[in-house]
Every structure is written in C-alpha cells, then in structure tokens.
A = this chain, B = another copy of it.
Amino acid sequence: MQDQPTASDRQPAIDLHGLVSKLFPINRSLTGSGVRETLKIVSGHIDLAINEVATGTAVLDWHVPMEWNIRSGTITTMSGRRLVDFADNNLHVLGYSKPIKAVLSRDELAQHVHTLPEQPDLIPYRTGYFADNWGFCLPHNLWQSMTDDEYRVDIDSDIAPGSLTYGELFLPGETSHEVLLTCHVCHPSLADDNLSGIAIATALAMRQARQPRRLGYRFLFLPATIGAITWLQRNESRLDTIKHGLVLTCLGDANAFHYKQSRSGAIIDRAVEHVLRHSGRPYEVMPFNPYGYDERQFCSPAFDLPVGCLMRGVHGTFPEYHTSADNLDFVTSEALGQSYAMIATLLDLLDGDRTYRRVDGRGEPQLGRRGLYRAIAGQREAGGATQMDLLWFLNLADGRHSLLDMAIRADVPFARLEAAARLALDASLVVECD
C-alpha cells in the first residue's frame, strides 16, 4: 500500500497555464503539422509514443482522412488592405479549407463567411471536415463593415494524402488493470477546449510516472472521433484491461465541475462523484448521453467501456465555447490547478481502492491494547483516520466492501478510510483480498 498522499502530490510539476500558453498559437486540426508540433511539445515532458496512421487506412466504419496543412489565409480589399488574416488568429480559416485564390463579389464571398450575429465581436470556430469546401470565420461586426463590391481571397493550403497523428503513453502497474485518460488534440487556438485537457493530462502523466502504481495508466492524445476510432481499431483485442476511464476536456474555466457518467454505470462514476462530493466545490453529475467527446466512441455498444467525462464548462452551454473568447484569459492557473488536484485525488482513490477482510471478524477488536487509540491521535494532524473511520473500516472489512464502498457508506473522504486500513493492516487485524 502506498504511503498517504501529501499535499505536494496534488500540485502539478509543471506550470499548467504556461503549457497552455505555449500550445495556444499552434494551428491544430484532425491531422497535420499542428498536431505533430503539439505532441512534440508534450513529449518534452513525458515519454510519449507518436503514432502515424496513413490516409485511407480503414478504421472501424471510417477511413483515415487526407491530411490538411495551411500556410496562410487572407481576405484583402481590392486596394490591398488586409482585413482578415489567418496569421492573426487561426480560427479565421474554416478547418480543412481547400486552397483558393480569387476575386469574389461580396455576395459570392458571403456564401463562405461564418459569423456569430449574437456575439458580434467574436470569431467563431468552424470546421468542414471531409467536405470539399473553404471558408472564413470573422467577427460579425467586421463583416457588417465590409461593404465593398469585391474582395480578394487567398488560402494557401494542402489537402493531400498523409497521416493521422496521435500520442500514447502507457505507465504499467503491478496488475494488468488499467486506467484510461484521454484528451483531444484537434482544436486550433482554443484554450479551454482542449489545451486545458492536454496540459492536465501531461502533468498527470508526469505525476503517475513518479508514483508507485498498482494500476497501469494509459494516456491518449487523440484527434477527436477519428482519433479515438483509430485507436480503438488498433487496440481492440486488449480493451478488457481498461477498468476505469475518463475523458478530460474544458478543465481550465471557472465553471463548476460537471461529470458525465459512463453508459452502463461503473466504479468510475461512483469514484468521481465521491471525490467531487468531498472536494468542497460545486459540481453536477450528468447522466450519460451519446453526444459529447470521445466517450461516444469508448461507450459505443460493442465496447461499452467504463469511461466517463470530466468537464467544468459543458460543451455548447457556455458563451465562450468554440469562439475566439476561449482564449488564454478564459483559462486560469487556479482553475487548472483545481482540476489537476481533483483528478490526482481520483487516481489515488482508484489506485488505492482495495478490499480487506478481518482476520477475525467476530465482535470489535480491542483497540487499546494494540495502541490504536494512540495511533489515531498520532495521525490526527496529518488528516488521518478518526476513531469513527477505523470503526467503519473494521465493521465493513468483510471481503465484500471495497474502500470506496466504505467511504461512500461512511460519507467521509476516501483517504481517511485508506488511512484506517493502514492502521488495521499494521495491527494485523485485516488481510487484503485478491
């Protein structure tokens, strides 16, 4: 059994906001150099395996798409004034835009312009995956001010055979059971969705690499949907070792935590809810639905993996979502740190969750002659078990209740039941069950 976690175990080893800031300017998409550059930066912190899967490869019901790369994209007036420039903000060009160089009437251009009339100062994030299309995204106010008859548009991009890129790190544990942690790496300059998830997953991987591990930890950095589908295709034969899974997204904003449950109910659901309940922070638990992030793929009927999704703001419900307002001001060090600590607590719980059986379960053992009252007093300042925690543990250590079961029933933080287990184990009152 690992030692009791200390406060420092809940502090990331890297500056999370700093990592988000470093990744922010890169133009990411489902495929292409931006994803590779992102994963290379992540690789500076963790021992990430980079996988390339060729365009056209059949993956479940899908095929790996063409690779998209873009060098520039502008709208200029006929007099040469640059009004919209990809170099200023990579949201300005519709994802997967094909190249174009033309003079268009305003009406022709309007067919390719995306704005947010109700948020007229923001640039929307739009993408046209797999569609033979091009477009620009701009603030509605700017578009309204563009009243010339003609404009010059110029997108210098490639859509060509290449590959899909994803990153994977597996940290083996003492047992074959593993925890899956995934995030998506396919969004351009959007800080919360999902650089927050990438940064936190990176820091958690650094943390788990340093820790003794009963469970294995698998970190996936995937382009959404097609990346998850590709990974599932390639790993189909070994999914049964995944005992708990969590999709990490939108974890840097100031909204309350939202946990979306797995499809069929799982320990991860009870564990996350327990950690949130004892966090002292507001939270909401939402039932599974088949929309959202890559839990859609992991929870598809033939896989039905025990995977939930942890968020703060919920996709589609906060005003900054998929706009240029999801920027480096929208995510904070404080929120990132809270999210990191929450998940670190969760991983400690999953790793420490065991089942014990009293050596002799008849009546209460005599605590005094074993020095357990003294031991409890000694733990007190370290936030250890109370006498009541120890009584709960000794009562429920029947080989059928896990520590998580006990913590939920006693309604106290998991770590205190774990501390009680340590006391009882040291006193030879219990044995661990397989």
**A interface residue numbers (CB < 8 A to B):** 60-62, 130, 225, 228-229, 232-233, 236, 263, 289-291, 296-297, 299-304, 358, 360-366, 368, 388, 391-392, 394-398, 410
**Bound state CA distance, A233 and B364, in angstroms?**
12
Given A291-B388, A395-B299, A396-B301; A225-B368 close (CB under 8 Å)? no
Closest 3 A/B residue pairs (Cβ): A302-B361, A301-B398, A290-B395
Residues of B with C-beta under 8 A to A360: 60-61, 302
Residues of B with C-beta under 8 A to A289: 388, 392, 410
Does B395 contact A300, Cβ atoms closer than 8 Å?
yes
Shortest Cβ gap from A238 to chain B (Å): 14
Nearest-neighbor residue (CB-CB) of A59 within chain B: B363
Contact of A62 among B263, B301, B366 (CB under 8 A): B366
Does B301 contact A61, Cβ atoms closer than 8 Å?
no
Does A301 contact B364, Cβ atoms closer than 8 Å?
no
Residues of B with C-beta under 8 A to A303: 361-363
**Bound state CA distance, A365 and B396, in angstroms?**
45
**Bound state CA distance, A71 and B391, in angstroms?**
36
Nearest-neighbor residue (CB-CB) of A63 within chain B: B366
**Bound state CA distance, A147 and B392, in angstroms?**
45
Does B130 contact A364, Cβ atoms closer than 8 Å?
no
Residues of B with C-beta under 8 A to A410: 289
Does B362 contact A290, Cβ atoms closer than 8 Å?
no
Contact of A363 among B229, B364, B368 (CB under 8 A): B229
Contact of A362 among B232, B392, B396, B397 (CB under 8 A): B232
Does B290 contact A391, Cβ atoms closer than 8 Å?
yes
**Bound state CA distance, A206 and B229, in angstroms?**
50
Nearest-neighbor residue (CB-CB) of A360 within chain B: B61
**Bound state CA distance, A360 and B362, in angstroms?**
47
**Bound state CA distance, A233 and B388, in angstroms?**
24
**Bound state CA distance, A364 and B303, in angstroms?**
11
**Bound state CA distance, A6 and B422, in angstroms?**
56
Nearest-neighbor residue (CB-CB) of A129 within chain B: B368
**Bound state CA distance, A289 and B362, in angstroms?**
17
Does B301 contact A225, Cβ atoms closer than 8 Å?
no
Contact of A302 among B228, B229, B300, B358 (CB under 8 A): B358
Residues of B with C-beta under 8 A to A299: 395
Contact of A228 among B290, B297, B363 (CB under 8 A): B363
**Bound state CA distance, A236 and B363, in angstroms?**
11
Nearest-neighbor residue (CB-CB) of A390 within chain B: B290
Given A130-B368, A301-B397, A397-B301; A236-B392 close (CB under 8 Å)? no
Highest count of chain B CB atoms <10 Å: which of A62, A300, A304? A300
Apart from A61-B362, A297-B364, what 10 extra A-B contacts exist at CB < 8 Å? A228-B363, A232-B363, A290-B391, A290-B394, A290-B395, A291-B388, A300-B361, A300-B364, A301-B394, A303-B362
Residues of B with C-beta under 8 A to A290: 388, 391-392, 394-396
Nearest-neighbor residue (CB-CB) of A368 within chain B: B130
Shortest Cβ gap from A431 to chain B (Å): 13
